[in-house]
């Protein structure tokens, strides 16, 4: 067992436990903090997969921006006891069905992945930095890149408009 | 030896946890957080396949970056919608969001 394997197992364990914490916490602030830990664990997995730039973007966008946005939204809408802000659905059959579907999906996917013969590449390359990424984004995928920029602009306007609300005449 | 299959199985477990949160939580913001978990699981797949199947092309990283952009837009609009509904209903409980049900 190499160091790489130990690091993967540690990161995967932390990430999965934090993800369970997000879903199982009764206090939604705790859920949000576990979500930050999950994002950082996933960023560690990206670093381990030689994707340094994607890992940094993950830390900045997810662990930085999105989690702050979520915590602000929680502060704006929290009006009951903190320990009862993040409960499960009232109906037990709904939870049972949700758990059944999720376990079935995860187990089915894991089995399918395990028994698939993957077309693994023989060559191994290290971290390429942003060079390849820039070539892709400004080469074959330049239209998608521009559409993503317009999407972000529209999302900012939409979010401001929705959160501001319509004033009553 | 950790290979591609381990990363993909880890991602599918994360996806399953996120899906359980989406299907069983009462709070709308908790559902949004679980959707983020699912998007992260998908991103791990893209980056892992980039490393093990098509190394050096940058394709998986590009798609992962686009997923992050769309997820950021989605969470901003989703939280604005939740705040807007909270202003009318004074609640973030998904069971109270039945305006379109008859």
The residue ranges of every structural domain in chain B are 4-92
Q: H-helix or E-strand containing A69?
A: helix A67-77
pLDDT at A125 over 80: no
pLDDT in tens, A49-102: 988 899 999 999 999 999 999 999 888 887 777 777 777 877 888 888 889 999
- Output the pLDDT for position A155: 94
- Output the pLDDT for position B97: 80
Q: Which residue of B has its CA nearest to A20?
A: B17
List the one residue out of A18, A17, A7 whose CA is nearest residue A44: A7
Binned at pLDDT 50, 70 and 90, residue B102 comes out as: low
| φ, ψ for residue B29, nearest 5 deg | -70, -35
Q: Which two tokens stand for residue B56?
A: 């050096």
DSSP secondary structure code for residue B25 in this structure:
B
What's chain B's length in residues? 102
The arrangement of secondary structure in B4-92, i.e. its CATH architecture, is Orthogonal Bundle (1.10)
CB contact under 8 A, A51 and B61: yes
If one counts every other C-beta atom within 10 angstroms of the C-beta of residue A139, the result is: 12
CB contact under 8 A, A76 and B83: yes
Q: Rounded distance, CA A166 to CA A164, Å?
A: 7
Closest in B12, B52, B64 to A106, CB measured: B12
pLDDT at B27 over 60: yes
Report whether B6 contacts B49 (CB < 8 A).
no
Closest in A4, A38, A114 to B37, CB measured: A38
CB contact under 8 A, A16 and B13: yes
Sign of the alpha-carbon dihedral angle for A48, A51, A52, A56: negative
Whole-number percent of chain A with pLDDT over 90: 53
CA of B54: how far to CAs of A22, A131, B48, B66, B100, in Å? 33, 16, 10, 18, 46
Helix %, strand %, coil % for chain A, to 5? 75, 0, 25
Q: Rounded distance, CA A83 to CA A149, Å?
A: 39
Closest in A32, A97, A158 to B77, CB measured: A158
pTM (two decimals): 0.90
Distance from the A124 Cα atom to the nearest Cα atom in chain B, whole angstroms: 7
pLDDT in tens, B58-99: 888 999 999 999 999 999 999 999 998 888 888 888 878 877
CB contact residues (below 8 A), chain B span 30-59, against chain A? 30, 32-34, 36-37, 40, 43-44, 47-48, 50-59
CB contact residues (below 8 A), chain B span 60-79, against chain A? 60-62, 64-66, 68-77, 79
B1 in A contact zone (CB under 8 Å): yes
């Amino acid at each position: 067992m190499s160091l790489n394997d130990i690091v993967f197992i540690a990161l995967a364990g932390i990430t999965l436990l934090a993800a369970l914490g997000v879903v199982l916490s009764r206090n939604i602030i705790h859920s949000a903090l576990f979500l930050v830990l999950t994002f950082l664990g996933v960023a560690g997995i990206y670093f381990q997969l030689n994707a340094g730039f994607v890992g940094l973007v993950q830390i900045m966008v997810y662990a930085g921006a999105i989690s702050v946005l979520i915590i602000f939204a929680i502060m704006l809408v929290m009006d009951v006891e903190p320990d009862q802000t993040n409960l499960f659905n009232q109906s037990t059959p709904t939870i049972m069905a949700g758990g059944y579907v999720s376990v079935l999906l995860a187990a089915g996917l894991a089995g399918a992945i395990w028994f698939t013969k993957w077309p693994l590449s023989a060559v191994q390359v290290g971290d390429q930095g942003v060079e390849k990424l820039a070539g892709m984004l400004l080469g074959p995928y330049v239209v998608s890149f521009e559409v993503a920029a317009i999407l972000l602009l529209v999302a900012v306007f939409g979010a401001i408009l929705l959160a501001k609300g319509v004033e009553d005449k | 030896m950790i290979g591609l299959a381990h990363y993909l199985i880890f991602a599918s477990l994360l996806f399953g946890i996120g899906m359980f949160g989406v299907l069983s939580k009462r709070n709308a913001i908790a559902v949004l957080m679980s959707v983020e978990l699912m998007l992260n699981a998908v991103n791990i797949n893209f980056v892992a396949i980039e490393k093990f199947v098509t190394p050096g092309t940058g394709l998986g990283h590009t798609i992962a970056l686009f997923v992050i952009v769309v997820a950021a837009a989605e969470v901003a609009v989703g939280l604005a919608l939740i705040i807007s509904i909270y202003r009318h209903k004074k609640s973030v409980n998904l069971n109270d969001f039945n305006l379109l049900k008859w």
